[in-house]
Structure 1
Amino acid sequence: MTTEPSRTPTIGGSDATRIAVASAIGAVTNLVILTVAARVLLPVENNTAFVTFWSTLFAFFGVMTGFSIEATRAVSAATSSEDRTSVPTTGAGRPPRVMAVGVGIACVVGLLVGVTIPVWSPAIFTMHPWALGGLVVLGVTGNALHAATVGSLAGSRIWRPYSSLIGFESLVRLTLVLVCAFMGLGVLGFAAAAAAAAFTWAGFVATSSQVRHAVGVRVDSTLPLFLRRVTSSGVASGASALLVVGFPVLLSLTTPDAEMALAAPVLMAITLTRAPLMIPLNAYQGVAVTHFVAHRDQGLRAMLPAARLVVLVGVVGAVLALLVGPQIMALVFGSAYRVPGLVLAGLTLAVILLALLTLTGALCQALTMHGPFVAGWVTAVLVSVATLLVPASLEARSVLALAAGPVAGLIVHLTALRRAALLEVAANPSAVEQSVVDQSIVEQAVVEQSVLPDAVAVADGGLPVPRVSVCIATYNGERFVDEQLRSILDQLAPSDEVVVVDDASTDTTVAVVQAIADPRVRLVPADRNRGYVATFEAALAMATGEHVLLSDQDDVWVPGRVQLMVDALVDVDVVATNLGTLGGPESIRGPYGQADWHLRAADSRHPGRNILGTLAGNRPYYGCAMGVRRSALARVLPFPSYLDESHDLWIALYGNVFGSIQHVEARSLLRRFHEDNASPNRPRGPLAVVRSRAMLVRVVVDLVGRRFRSAAQERRSRKNRRASRQ
């Protein structure tokens, strides 16, 4: 028996706020500790030693994070599942308690790390290798039991002690470090303070009955199965920690000692650029896993809100790092720690990829896909290490390695999710808000899948089916719409159509269109203004032709445009042409000063490059110069509700994400630039640009989801066809 995943909110608003505050405390205290170390542990070589110890300690903590996340998943599944009949409640096969497992793991891991000190410690630490190795053993032993505590609290949804423990541990670590700084205890004192704070959990267990109850909860499986899952989770989380906080360890292993001794500025830059995203994300990781378990039927869609927020915060952070990062580094840590703005921006952008990899990993783990979870993180580490071996400067190698590794890991995770059909999310795509026409028209267009056979097909009523449908959204276009329509109608066959949806114009646009009196023109006036995106969507939904071409209301089509686009749409879903200007120069100037900004046919084969170019505002995709096959409308429509501009970029990004777009270099129309153009003809403010770019990132994420769902639907269809033949 299976049960529907719970729809109870994973966490309340006040508890979410507490976790946010706790993560902020963690970020601030870590920054203060590293700042104090940079100021107190002189010369720079001493601080390099402490930062390397700090990274090594938290890399080992990252391995224990795997235990914490698996404990969260296991406790959440155990407390929410109604089907526990397969797991014994008594005897040797009875599921273990979380803290009992934690004690065993603490002993085993502490012993393994301790006996291998001679192998790894001298290779990492340039000073005090034995003492610093011993302090790592102390810290990782305490952190194993910390992981058991926070994992059981998150899985039980006991959020107040959970957030308090996260925040209080950071404050304890800061207090101990400040005491050591005051007493002048040097590198070993700072390291001992950092490690000792890992035992903060003991005070919570001793003083809170809620915490004691949580750590006594049993997991959802037998001990051998749970340990196998913890092991795979630990390997993946250890790999994650090497990239998140332990990257200086990888640098130390791949960089000559003389260069590494002076690497403190780069190490601090790496740590600083990670904190704004990764500390809150790690604090909320227990919440994320619990949420993914409760909403496992949604697949990748369950993580989309977090992914969008990560991208937005990361992009803003990269801009700030570029503009003011060097000054902040020098102000906080001293003039010796100034790092170029481009390096800081590159490190910040790499964090976006790392955060997305963390989210896909949490989703894999929540869905018990431990194999792909491990494979993604291990692949990321291996690719990063390989990149670090490239001959380049320390800064360049760091940026490249921290970007290339997460990209490789994301490919592994997303491929596995797709193969496992976890992205087959239900079928209710977001409804079109405030549709110009009745919603049933849009729904009809979405469900129709087949391409019409040819231009002379005959509909049920005996009328020829249009080969071409031209879709126009009009609004107060009385000056130019007649010239536009006549340049279109001259190229259409008698059975073709022009669908004109008027967005409640206040001038004589409707009358001008009616006066043309051509039976191929289908006019649909709206009773109220809804905006050009919704109006174009309605027109596309009403189109019945095999080839659907978009048009503005104020341009002029070049003779031969229709046949040119129909020919291009034979093999692809989307065609995009270039345009000239009416009464002006043939070419248009690009946003980066290009004298002739146009699409190149060769770029049709590089969808990834086109997507990045679109996000950067450097691809001239104009809706008025585009066409789409009607069969693709089942995936293009409906537009997402947040799309309040750039429907043309939605279609262009669809073509690139689905790998089915053709650039035609011909200038197939002449665009009329005037003061009433819907598209802005002058630069927008920075806030508008940031909002637009963030929306386009969201568009790419949504389209990737649609592609996965489309592929899953196609697999189901093929399976059903094979079954019916048998």
Structure 2
Amino acid sequence: MSDSTRGDRRGKLSIVLIATATVVAGVSGYLVTLAVAQQAGLAAYSVFAVFWAVLYFIVGCLFGLQQEMTRAVSAGARAQLAPARSRVPVPMFVLLVAGLVAVVIAVSFPLWAIPAFGEDQLGLVVPLAVGAVACVAVSSLSGVLSGLGSWADLALIVGLDGAVRLAMILAVLALGGDQSWLAWGVVAPFPITVGIALFVARRRLAGALYVDGTYRGLLWNSSRTMLAAAAMAAMVTGFPALLSLFSAGVDRDYLGALILAITLLRAPLLVPLTAFQSYLLVFFASHATTIVRALVSFLAVVALGTIAFAGLTALWGEQVFVWLFGEEVRQVSDLLVPLVFASGMIAGLFVTGPAVLSRNAHAAYTTGWVVSAVVAVGAVLLPWPIGDRVIAALVLGPAVGLIIHTSSVVRGAWGTRSVGASGESGQTLLS
């Protein structure tokens, strides 16, 4: 068997492992949402959902740290024979970032904790801080393993984290635990998963104890990648927390039902696209000459999927929600179909983003997500009913981002064609 054949098989196996682990994590998160909403009630779920949203907003931000660690470790592996003038020990860098995250939460929580959780739930800040610090380790370790190409170990982290979290939440609900115990059940899988992964991959990690560069350089690169990740997280996992901050006077049951609808109706579109972000990036990079056609094709698939899902929601969405969660969710039934189309808009960004990055247009990629988040926040602040603000935020924000991303891809494609045409003309003149 040739090396290329073995490489192709390893590549396909890697895709299968990561996709399977992502499905396990996605289904686990879905079941956590269903279990808490059904057993704790919508009012309690609204608090839990905001805690979940704040935590996973931080997780989303730290995805940028994972990207930078992947880049640094991968670059070091490719240039391992070259003497490095400056090297940073990975464990010390992880401790530095964890300390910075803890300080930021400790300093800032008086600004957002009471509006988000309420005065009677301020104790949730403690498990939130612990989870955020532990997530620094998860993101860093995931980045290192990605940089080393240890896809099986990365799949272990993704799948195990979700499965352990589901088991813990079910155990807490069975024992009648309160909001605090639910919060600890959410964050505990982070250190557990890191400990198991470190033990399993300890030999492979020996080659990535140092990365080339300086602390300042790594922090600067990480801050830029986390900016784009933060904007993405604000539009997705952190959006319920954003709603909670700007929903003074809104009935808690209504807010819980609205957050539940947003969370469940975006999952069928966003979870698969999240799993295949890397695949899309590679696909667009390998189709650089026909990238516009490829982008239109993928966006068409997203549009058709959104229309089909919206049709199913229009027919049976209200009945399914009432069957699962009771009559209280009927109060947001008029928003179900619009929320599906809004989710489709965000799904479009999950397609255009990899297309932009495949052309190394990082500035356009970051700008698209950041402007989307800014527009969405602006829409949430409008003096409209909360449901109208949600739809406006989740449609207008992604729409602006889609324009920025697609414009970048089209301009880049025309630039490539112009260069190619110039080259062909030059060759004709010289022949």
TM-score exceeds 0.5 = yes
How far residue 226 of structure 1 moved from its aligned partner, in angstroms, is 3.5
**What aligned pairs does 1:39-50 form with structure 2 within 5 A after superposition?**
39-42=38-41, 44-50=42-48
The CA distance in 1 between the partners of 2:259 and 2:13, in whole Å, is: 35
Misfit runs of 4+, over 6 Å: 715-721
The one of the two structures with greater contact order (alpha-carbon pairs below 8 A, sep at least 6) is 2
Aligned to 1:444: none
1:588-613 CA distance string (max 9 Å, x none): xxxxxxxxxxxxxxxxxxxxxxxxxx
**Identical aligned pairs, as a percentage?**
25
1:386 aligns with 2:352: no
**1:373 CA displacement:** 2.7
How do 1:470-489 and structure 2 match up within 5 A?
none
Q: CA deviation at 1:713?
A: 3.5
Q: How does 1:368-517 map to 2 (within 5 A)?
A: 368-419=360-411, 421=412, 423=413
Q: Secondary structure at the match of 1:106?
A: helix
Trace 1:67-86 onto structure 2 (pairs within 5 A): 67-76=65-74, 79=77, 84=79
> In the TM superposition, what whole-angstrom CA distance separates every residue of 1:303-350 from its partner, at most 9, and x where no partner exists?
747655544433332222222221221222222223666522222222
The superposition leaves residues 469-506 of structure 1 with CA deviations (integer Å, 9 ceiling, x where unpaired) of: xxxxxxxxxxxxxxxxxxxxxxxxxxxxxxxxxxxxxx
Q: TM-score, normalised by structure 2?
A: 0.85
Distance in 1 between the 2:330 and 2:276 partners? 31
In the TM superposition, what is the alpha-carbon distance from 1:145 to its structure 2 partner? 1.2
Residue 276 in 1 paired to residue 275 in 2? no
Q: Does 2:249 correspond to 1:251? A: no
Gaps of 5+ in 1: 1-7, 424-708, 722-726
Higher mean displacement: 223-232 or 293-302? 293-302
Which residue matches 1:205?
A: 198
1:90 matched to 2:88? The reply is no
1:18 is matched with which residue? 17
Structure 2 residue corresponding to 1:150, chosen from 142, 149, 164: 142
Q: Which segment is superposed worse, 305-314 or 112-121?
A: 305-314
Q: Deviations over 1:60-82 (max 9, x none)?
A: 11101121233334444554x5x
Q: Which residue of 2 aligns with 1:241?
A: 233
Aligned residue-pair number: 419
* Matching residue within 221, 224, 238 for 1:229: 221
Equivalent of 1:126 in 103, 118, 125 = 118
Deviation readout 1:213-266 (Å, 9 max, x if unpaired): 5754736x6554433221111111111111111111221222223345631111
Higher helix share: 2
Give the structure 2 partner of residue 60 of structure 1: 58
Q: Distance in 2 between matches of 1:227 and 1:275?
A: 32
Structure 2 residue matching 1:185: 3-state secondary structure: coil
1:271 CA displacement: 0.4
Summarize the Cα distance change of 1:364–1:148 in structure 2 as closer, same or farther, 3 Å threshold.
Answer: farther
Residues 60 and 128 of structure 1: CA distance in aligned 2, closer, same or farther (over 3 Å):
farther
2: distance between equivalents of 1:73 and 1:90?
16
Q: Which residue of 1 aligns with 2:428?
A: none
Q: Which has the higher strand share?
A: 1
User: Which is higher, the Rg of structure 1 or of structure 2?
Assistant: 1
Distance across 1 between alignment mates of 2:352 and 2:118: 36
Partner residue of 1:176 out of 163, 168, 171: 168
Q: Which residue of 2 aligns with 1:509?
A: none
Q: Note if contact 2:112-2:245 (Cα within 8 Å) is conserved in structure 1.
A: no
Does the CA-based 8 Å contact 1:98-1:218 persist in structure 2?
A: yes
Task: Tell me the amino acid that sits aligned with residue 37 of structure 1.
Answer: V
**Which of 187, 192, 197 is matched with 2:184 structurally?**
192
Closer, same or farther: CA 717–21 of 1 in aligned 2, 3 Å: closer
Change (3 A) 1:131 1:340: closer
Structure 2: distance between partners of 1:378 and 1:161: 32
Q: Is the 8 A contact 1:57 1:136 kept in 2?
A: yes
Contact 1:73–1:293 (CA under 8 A) maintained in structure 2? no
The corresponding residue for 1:713 is 417
Q: Cα gap change, 1:91/1:13 in structure 2, threshold over 3 Å: closer, same or farther?
A: closer
Residue 102 of structure 1, aligned match among 90, 94, 118: 94
Q: Find the aligned partners of 1:197 and 1:105 in 2 and give their Cα distance.
A: 20
Matched with 2:31 is: 32
* In 1: Cα distance, 2:342 partner to 2:328 partner: 24
Would the aligned equivalents of 2:302 and 2:344 in 1 still touch at CA under 8 Å? Answer: yes
Q: In structure 1, what is the Cα distance between the partners aligned to 2:396 and 2:98?
A: 33
Deviations 1:681-723 (A, max 9, x none): xxxxxxxxxxxxxxxxxxxxxxxxxxxx3x65357769999xx
- Decide whether the 8 Å contact of 1:347 with 1:399 is kept in 2: yes
